[in-house]
Amino acid sequence: MIAAFVFCSVLSASIPFSAGKTIPADTHASTIESKNVRHLERLNESKLKKLIQSRKGKALFINVWATWCEPCVEEFPDIVRLSDEMKGQKIEFVGVSGDDCDDELSKVIPFIAKEKAQFKFYIAKIEAEDEFIDAFNKRWGGGIPATFIYDAKGNMKAFLVGKQSYQELKAAIEKALRN
């Protein structure tokens, strides 16, 4: 099953945020809200293009997901596992949440903390939905989960839509790293 992607509206741009900090593995949902509130950096088309092109010798794994998307939630632990296993290798993991910005503190950040994900996260901020989708891949219809793997030069090497297994994700990463 592929879920439709929902985007943060431009009106959310006034919400304060700190630049996409990762959440420590020992942070629990209850402590996130009681301590200094953290926000995810908003990702728009121009930031996405810069992220893809500014590789600094590393491949890039981007997973677009949402907390309300059952296949995304099921796939997420495998992505966390791969990220942990590939620490120190020439690949950067990034998650892009398609959740509504209003759900960031109540759902997105607690989910990331619960899963002990230690990589960079953004929340999508869309000014023009088609342009944002096309910035990833013109063939992508916006269904999630969606995974995009780029080589160290910013060239797309894999485009996967729908829930993938650990083995499928790992094989796609290894192929991108070989090229």
Contact 144, 98 (CB under 8 A): yes
Check the CA dihedral 4-140-77-125 and report its sign. Answer: negative
pLDDT, averaged across the chain: 80
> What confidence tens digit (pLDDT) does each residue in 113-160 have?
999 999 999 998 877 778 888 888 888 998 999 999 999 999 999 999
pTM: 0.78
Check the CA dihedral 114-119-124-125 and report its sign. Answer: positive
Q: Give me the residues of the chain with pLDDT under 70, please.
A: 1-38
Beta bridge partners of 97: 65, 123
CATH architecture of 3-178: 3-Layer(aba) Sandwich (3.40)
Burial class (CB in 10 A: 0-12, 13-18, 19+), 68: middle
- Per-residue confidence (pLDDT) for residue 11, from 0 to 100: 27
- Per-residue confidence (pLDDT) for residue 21, from 0 to 100: 39
